[in-house]
Structure 1
Amino acid sequence: MTPNQRLTIAVVLSILFFVAYTLIFPPEEIEAAKNTQTDAQSIEKTQGSSTLQPQAVKVEDVVSHEISTDEKMAVNDMSTLVTVTSNNFVMKLDTLGRISSKVLLQDKYNDKDDKHAQLIADAGPKPLFIRFLEPNLNDEASKVPYKTSVSELSLKDGSQKVTLTQELPSLTVTKEILFFADGHYDVKISLSDDKRYFVYLGQRPRITEQMMTVSGAMVYTDDELVTIIEDGDAAGRKTFTGVELISAFDQYSATIMYGFAKDTNIIVERDRNDDPVIYFEALQNMTFSGYVGQKEYKTLHNIDPVLTNAIEYGWFTFASKPLFQLLSWLHGIFGNWGWSIVALTIIIRTILYPLTYKGMVSMQKMKDLSPHIKELQKKYKGDPQRMNAAVMDTYKKHGANPLGGCLPMLLQIPVFFAIYRVLLNAVELQGAEWALWIDDLSRMDSTFILPILMGASMYYQQKLTPNNFTDPMQEKIFKFLPIIFTFFFLTFPSGLVLYWFVNNLFSIAQQFIVNQQFKNAKEAEIAAHKHVEKKDD
């Protein structure tokens, strides 16, 4: 394999990473959405005229327990028992003591239809829902609504508490919930008698378009082990102990519960779509905490540092997590996420400068040696062994490394994907402006100006980069790479495109330096040669 082929493969591999990643983490299937809509419609048809006294109609087993029709009902105003308001959200609890709705009031979190984001899915288990193991008791609990100590809570002046009570014929259930303005809450559940029951985490939020990101459920244990069960991949039953937090999450938001006793049994099962469903076995007197909202690092850290582990970066967490810390620190300096990305890119490229510099120098040397290598190939055309030995001796004599050009490029790919995961999962970029027409770094540039600039800079970088292609087909493929990359980046978040564009500008500047150094060296060599000839004359 020639050095040119290695170089081409190195560049093409970066594209293959994009393609493979898209195949591994595709967007949510339209068919799944249709199924969800059909389920909701069928549920509405079975809904009784009174939501305060729901009928317990048995349906398919979603998990190990029988789930009543009411548990899958779409939320409506008649079932609302308590309304909690703050400056940033409105939360509702229904007659079954569940968190049935949470709407974010900030426009920057609006969904694709530009409506306020609803974090609680209409159908499926909801946060704080209780299921009893005894069928008769569970049937009673589905028919008797909770009573509340207060129907309206305002968090604008601080935390507020509500007490929910369900009086069953043989049991009294009490939920004391203390709500905070940052979105988290503390819960104490008490039973008048010791009965076996389970509390559900609830379904994950479904408000953002999935852009090659992971969505599903997470279990984080006290040994710092993260278990992620993606939607569609749940299988069988899994039980965990020593759990620090559980989360049902999408790209930017999550439903989280934490603060469990070490011996609490956390159970993960699957629904009929093979999506994970999480619940835990509770005690007669049980305390824990929860959070429903965006996965903003500072918010989660201020509530409890352990909650920052709910921000997942996939395989690249080990590198992405410190990169986000650096990006956040830079934001504290610049006050703008766009300029923070620019600064982060410069820092990364400065750290990688020695490596990339060696690669560029090696490529330049390979170009200069190309004519001599062609002569050797012609001279030893019938003797491949002697030809390879002569070529390698030439490289060694002039300090050229055939792999020097592609290895630095390959080593940069993990760095790129680490920052890629940061920029793709950072909810802080939602609604974050950079400059001029870029008013949301989490969304694609609808004008396509930034992706086109990125492609143009990549093309110009190619023009500056020395090459010695001998195969016309290789050269054509190489020239088409900027177009292919531009196509891929058209739908990528503006923050990620900005990173790659600045990265290209840095490469162009670095290539200028290397090219000028070789030009100066050649001019000095020619001048010295002329000086020697003049002296000899």
Structure 2
Amino acid sequence: MNNMNQNNGMQKRMLIMTLVVFVFFIAYEFLVLKPQQEAKAALVKQEQVQKQNAAPDVNASTQMVSTDVNGNPIDMSKSLDALSAKAIASSQIVSVIKTAKNIIEIDTLGRIAQVTLLEEKYKDENASQIKLFEANQLRPLEVRFADINLNTEAFKVPAVASLSNVDATTSTQELVLTQTLSGTVLTKKFTIYPDGHYDLSVNATNDKQFFITNGFRPNVLADMYAVHGFISKLNDNTLKTIEDGDLDKNENITGVKFISNFDRYYATVIYNFEKSLSISLMPDSESNPQAFIHGGSNITFSGFVGPKNHRDLDALNPELIDVIDYGWFTFIAKPMFLLLQFIQGYVGNWGWTIVILTILIKLVLFPLSFKGMVSMQKLKDLAPKMKEIQAKYKDDKQKQSMHMMELYKKHGANPMGGCLPLILQIPVFFAIYRVLLNAIELKGAPWMLWIHDLAEMDPYFVLPILMGATMYIQQKITPNTMQDEMQKKIFQFLPVIFTFFFLWFPAGLTLYWFINNLFTIGQQYYINSVFERKRAEKN
């Protein structure tokens, strides 16, 4: 740098750029993307309702009376579920599988039409057990034949199930689906386990070639906080991720261990770690990735549809943990989650686990934070002398720069010292940000008296307000070397802006930021007191 103005200006620009990018990231999500997604979801549901009203199921009774999975009558004209975009007509279902963790409905074409999660914590905004799929989406285990004529026929001929109800809640069960076509007999043999996963063997006679899909992703929570789309793991252990909206042409992948289409918390997974898979990806009308496995005339694999719970995936196969995608900072986020899970194993409460993890992160990063805080204090103390040099040599930039550098050297100050530690901590922040956003383990996890779900927003806005208040206090006690009044005003409004956005953030993430602010205040207060003592000693 040539002079103090350049040094100071660069520091300010980097700091402002970092904060502005972060604010823009959050603002764009809440003010642009989220309303678009909500409008789109509302439109899809409206279209579904119109279709149901315009073309009622010809096999349904005139009074619209159906039964639930247990055979109990439901008045569909009064049921809110019947108006949902996730409602599946009972006439479409040939078999219902119940495991300890979910209910899997198989439709007339041998596909997974719906999966309902049974664990108590998996409930939607209507307090109903979460259903993973929309009624009109690409369904898991749909088969498409290479022969066009045969494929057309396959979408008209229903499959026959060996059992209409399968109880796999306590023991492994089998189910066979048979679809008899003019040129082949397609057979799907399921082995269903109590934990909700399955093994599947698919066979087509007469050597008819087919493809089979894991379907479009679950559509429960797909937002711009977390990655959602397609991920695959290859034989060389590399991961290939394609986010929704990013696939503009067909693509082939060979040597695949698993594929998954996923939203923030849930996924449809197909895997085979003994014999690799070959995949063709096709974009839908919105450039979302649709995966089709090359089945030949006979293929075997295993599958899972449900929450991306770390322990459940690890129990199926440790490599399936890679289904959980944390984005750019996965290499930091994965070990961070393992630490989070380790602490929770001893503490037993996810809220206090987040508190402890935050403290540990602050302790690890303390040397960086300390260095930055000390640099800011030194620059604050040198501000009067820097102004003198600027005024004295305002017409000679070369001398101004030389005297500034001498001043820095004499007092051990670094004009970039306050900014660089912040920049270096950004990857850690975004890693914990991704961990807390993607961790379905926080779903239904309580903390304190008023937080009943750390994966949801604070219902009384206590944590966001505390976060904003601590951010304001932190700002007040932190040395500010900015001379520009506009920059000062921007920073003064940041606590208000952040509080506003954090009102809707998951409570777990807001808790992290609040605790982080508390310890930053403590660190800053300590540094301030040290410098105050030094000033007092000099005087």
- TM-score, normalised to structure 2, is 0.88
Report whether the alignment pairs 1:418 with 2:431: yes
Corresponding residue for 2:33?
Answer: 26
Superposed CA deviations along residues 341-399 of structure 1, whole A, max 9, x for unmatched, are 11111111111111111111111111111122222222222222212211210111011
- Structure 1 residues 497 and 4: CA distance shift in structure 2, 3 A: farther
Aligned mates of 2:205, 2:490 — CA distance in 1: 73
Q: How do residues 150-165 of structure 1 correspond to structure 2 at under 5 angstroms?
A: 150-165=163-178
Q: What is residue 442 of structure 2 aligned with on the other side?
A: 429
Written as runs of structure 1 = structure 2, the 5 A alignment for 1:66-85 is 75-85=88-98
CA distance in 2, matches of 1:381, 1:143: 85
**Aligned with 2:13 (options 6, 9, 14):** 9
The residue that corresponds to 1:293 in the other structure is 306
Q: 2:335 aligns with which of 309, 312, 322?
A: 322
Q: CA deviation at 1:298?
A: 0.4
Matched residue of 1:373: which SS? helix
The question of whether the paired residues in 1 share the 8 Å contact of 2:57 and 2:89 is answered with no
Q: Tell me how far 1:411 sits from its aligned partner.
A: 1.5
1:190 aligns with 203
Conservation of the 8 A alpha-carbon contact between 1:5 and 1:474: no
What is the Cα deviation at residue 223 of structure 1?
A: 1.7
Deviation at 1:407, TM superposition (A): 1.1
Unaligned runs of 5+ in 2: 61-84
Q: Distance in 2 between matches of 1:253 and 1:429?
A: 13
1:221 equivalent in alignment to 2:234: yes
- With over 3 angstroms needed to count, the CA separation of the structure-2 counterparts of 1:372 and 1:305, relative to structure 1, is same
Residue of structure 2 in register with 1:49 after alignment:
58
SS in 2 for 1:109: coil
Change in CA separation of 1:39 and 1:289 when aligned onto 2, cut-off 3 Å: farther
Point out the more displaced range, 298-307 or 513-522. 513-522
The CA distance in 2 between the partners of 1:11 and 1:403, in whole Å, is 10
SS at match of 2:277: coil
Of the candidates 457, 461, 480, which is equivalent to residue 448 of structure 1?
461
Deviations 1:263-321 (A, max 9, x none): 63201101122222111111323110110000000000101112111100111111111
Q: Which amino acid aligns with 2:499?
A: T
Aligned-pair CA distance for 1:20: 4.5
Alignment of 1:63-102 (within 5 A): 75-102=88-115
The answer (yes or no) to whether the contact 1:43–1:74 under 8 Å persists in 2 is no
Contact 1:360 1:514 in 2 (8 A): yes
1:506 equivalenced with 2:513 (yes/no):
no
Gaps of 5+ in 1: 52-71, 527-537
**What residue is the counterpart of 2:270 in the other structure?**
257
State the alpha-carbon separation in 2 of the partners of residues 34 and 388 from structure 1: 61
Q: 1:232: how far off?
A: 2.0
CA distance in structure 2 between the aligned counterparts of 1:235 and 1:474, rounded to whole angstroms: 42
The amino acid that maps onto 1:492 is F
Please give the residue correspondences for 1:121-160 in structure 2 after superposition, counting only pairs within 5 Å. 121-160=134-173
Does residue 1:111 correspond to 2:134, yes or no?
no
Q: Structure 2: how far apart are the matches of 1:426 and 1:100?
A: 26
2:314/2:320 contact within 8 Å kept:
yes
Write the letter of the residue equivalent to 2:199.
D
- SS of 2:206's partner is coil
Cα drift, residue 470 of structure 1: 2.8
Aligned counterpart for 2:251 among listed residues 223, 238, 252 = 238
- Give per-residue Cα distances to partners, 1:425-484, cap 9 Å, x unaligned: 111111111212121111111211111111111111122112233333332222222112
C-alpha distance after superposition, 1:139-164 (max 9, x if no partner) = 33223222222221222222211111
Residue 393 of structure 1, aligned match among 389, 406, 426: 406
Return the match for 1:516 from 529, 532, 537: 529
User: Could you tell me which amino acid in structure 1 is paired with residue 40 of structure 2?
Assistant: A
Distance 1:3 1:112, change over 3 A: farther
> Is this contact kept in 1: 2:180–2:186, CA < 8 A?
yes
- Find out whether 1:469 has 2:476 as its counterpart: no
Percentage identity across paired residues of the two chains: 44
Q: What SS does the corresponding residue of 1:468 show, helix, strand or coil?
A: coil
Whole-Å separation in 2 of the counterparts to 1:3 and 1:435: 46
The RMSD of aligned alpha carbons is: 2.3
SS at structure 2 position matched to 1:256: strand
Q: Deviations over 1:112-164 (max 9, x none)?
A: 33322111221122111111122332233223222222221222222211111
* Count, aligned residues: 506
Deviation string for 1:205-225 (max 9, x for gaps)? Answer: 111252522222222212222
Q: Which residue of 171, 174, 178 corresponds with 2:191?
A: 178
1:349-428 matched pairs, under 5 angstroms: 349-428=362-441
Cα separation, 2, equivalents of 1:473 and 1:143: 68
Do 1:216 and 1:249's aligned partners in 2 also have CA atoms closer than 8 Å? yes
Looking at structure 2, the residues matched to 17 and 275 of structure 1 have their Cα atoms a distance apart, in angstroms, of 27
Deviates more, 1:2-11 or 1:265-274: 2-11
So what's the TM-score if we normalise by structure 1? 0.89
Deviation at 1:253, TM superposition (A): 0.2
- When residues 517 and 48 of structure 1 are mapped into structure 2, their CA distance, relative to the original with a 3 A threshold, is closer
In 1, distance between residues paired with 2:474 and 2:425? 16
Question: How big is each residue's C-alpha offset from its partner over 1:153-199, in whole Å with a ceiling of 9 and x where there is no partner?
Answer: 22222221111122223322221101122221100112232101111
Shift of 1:523: 3.0
